[in-house]
Amino acid sequence: MPEHLIFPSILTADFLHLEAEIEMVNRSEADLLHLDIMDGVFVPNLTFGFPVIRQIRKASKKPLDVHLMIADPDRYLEAYRDAGADWLTVHYETCTHLHRTIQNIAELGMKPAVSVNPHTDVSLLEPILGDLNMVLIMTVNPGFGGQKFIEGSWNKIRKLKKMIVDAGTDTLIQVDGGVTEENIGELIRAGVDVFVVGNTIFSAENPLQVTSNLKNAP
């Protein structure tokens, strides 16, 4: 049985037929549904807000992994919980008091995670690894789907894996950006546990088969 997890990213779905896209994910071997929340401030793009998340929550049979690419996320932690987030990711770059933010997410009943941009050193997370359910390494610059994998990410993944092993935590490593059927096997061997996959799934002729291929990659 594969131990890695597949989180389809709704960012590259067909929003004109969003319910049908979510139903496809419901039928698939995917583990969670990934939602990218962008505010046009921290990243140069806008996505969707609480009303859309609440509707997605109603339609999705999978738990929701909500990735906040927004400035000052502390203002909205409870609101995202109430909208339906099960896992909540904040960016290292947006949190002045990161440990407090992580504690608040956990106290609200969600699984806390922290994301780092391509230029941010993962060693900065060492003091809080034990408090995190997951670390998300951005393998593209955040803001848009369909980008190519940044090759410098390999060293970050291996470095973070060593940090987790040395710390003796069960923190998961998630990657977002440029994941394909061709590179997922090598990413698994490098230490990645969780894969956010958008374009590879939603642009496929047979997204259910592609999701299965990703889930069962060696």
Catalytic site positions: 36, 176
> Which among 69, 56, 83 is positioned nearest to 138, based on CA atoms?
69
Helix (H, G, I), strand (E, B) or coil at 87: strand
Label residues 88-116 b or e (16+ Cβ within 10 Å = b). Answer: bbbbbbbbeebeebbebbeeeebbbbbbb
Q: What is the DSSP string of 119-159?
A: TS-GGGGGGGGGG-SEEEEESS-TT-SSPPPPTTHHHHHHH
